[in-house]
Each structure stands twice: as C-alpha cells, then as structure tokens.
DNA sequence: GGGCTGACCTACT
DNA sequence: CAGTAGGCCAGCC
C-alpha cells in the first residue's frame, strides 16, 4: 500500500472530522481510515497535507496521550498551544485520553457509563 | 533489492 | 512511570 491520493484523502477526512476540543491517536485515525497498521502513514499524511486546507493536525497525538514531537521543539510548543486554546488541559505533560479522546467519547455514549465530560 | 529512518504501537521489565 | 524490544509500513538513499 502507498500514500496515493485516495489514501491521503481517507486520512485527511478522518482528521478533519475530529471535533474541536477532542483528540485522536495516530493508530485510531489509521484504523478509522481503513489502515489498522498504518499509524506511521498518518504522520506522513499530516506532513503532506496542504497548508491551505487548514487540517486540524494538532488534534492528532500518540497513544500515550503525548505530543509526538520532541518536547523542546517548536512544533511541540505550537501544538500544545493550539490544543490548550481549544480547552484541552495537559496533566504531567499528557492529555487525558479518557476525557478528550474522541473515540473514547463515542464508546462512553454507547455504553452509557458515568462520564466526566459535560 | 537491502538497509536505515520515522509526528507510531504494544508488551514487557 | 521510564526504558527497551520487536513489530509495522512507506519513503529515501
């Protein structure tokens, strides 16, 4: 499989569907786009996204709830700023996926558990 | 083709 | 919770 136009489109679509204030892990984006093992392709797809489409790339983080960039890089600070601007709080340098994870929210809605978010 | 790299992930120590 | 190891897959020598 390669990053052809269709693949990129599928990944970009998933990312663009993430509502403000929520995040999704690379692996989950890959799965929803139809590539369960394609987590690494997602990172490439994000980097290949045209700046003009204003893709919410900052809502994509790794499965550990952490930003994928080195914490001392410019990209790291920028992503964190964008996320906090949407109301996402960082605890110990990490995002609480149970609370801000988009898929997690869907699951909670389905299973109807006690969910902390409004 | 062969080998290395990476905005990754899971499992184990 | 931090580090390590193995697995994955596409891109670039």
Domain spans of chain A? 5-111
Distance, Å, A8 CA → B6 C1':
18
Summarize pLDDT for A64-103 with one digit per residue, the tens: 999 999 998 999 999 999 999 999 999 999 999 988 988 6
C1' nearest to CA of A58: which nucleotide? Answer: B7
| Mean pLDDT, residues A41-59 taken together | 95
Distance, Å, A44 CA → C8 C1':
14
CA atoms within 13 A on the CB side of A29: 33
- At A2, is the pLDDT very low, low, confident or very high (cuts 50, 70, 90)? confident
Quote the DSSP letter at residue A101.
B
C1' nearest to CA of A40: which nucleotide? Answer: B8
Chain B: nucleotides below 7 Å from protein CB are: 6-10
C1' nearest to CA of A93: which nucleotide? Answer: C1
The predicted structure's pLDDT at residue A105 = 55
Alpha carbon distances (Å) from A45 to A12, A64, A100, A115: 7, 20, 23, 32
Return d(Cα A27, Cα A88) in angstroms, integer: 20
Question: Is the pLDDT at A13 greater than 90, yes or no?
Answer: yes
Return d(Cα A4, Cα A107) in angstroms, integer: 31
Quote the DSSP letter at residue A95.
E
The predicted structure's pLDDT at residue A98 = 86
A25 touches strand B (CB under 7 A): yes
Residue A106 three-state SS: helix
Q: Tell me if A30 sits within 8 A of A109, measured CB to CB.
A: no
Asked if CATH classification 1.10.10.10 holds for the domain at A5-111, the reply, yes or no, is: yes
């Amino acid at each position: 499989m390669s990053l052809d136009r269709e693949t990129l489109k599928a990944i970009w679509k998933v990312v663009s569907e993430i509502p403000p204030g929520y995040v999704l892990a690379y692996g989950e984006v890959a799965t929803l786009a139809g590539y369960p093992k394609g987590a690494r392709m997602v990172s490439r797809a994000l980097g290949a996204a045209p700046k003009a489409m204003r893709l919410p790339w900052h809502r994509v983080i790794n499965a550990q709830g952490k930003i994928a960039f080195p914490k001392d890089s410019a990209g790291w600070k920028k992503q964190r700023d964008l996320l906090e601007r949407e109301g996402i709080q960082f605890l110990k340098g990490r995002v609480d996926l149970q609370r801000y994870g988009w898929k997690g929210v869907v699951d909670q809605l389905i299973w109807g558990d006690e969910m902390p978010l409004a």
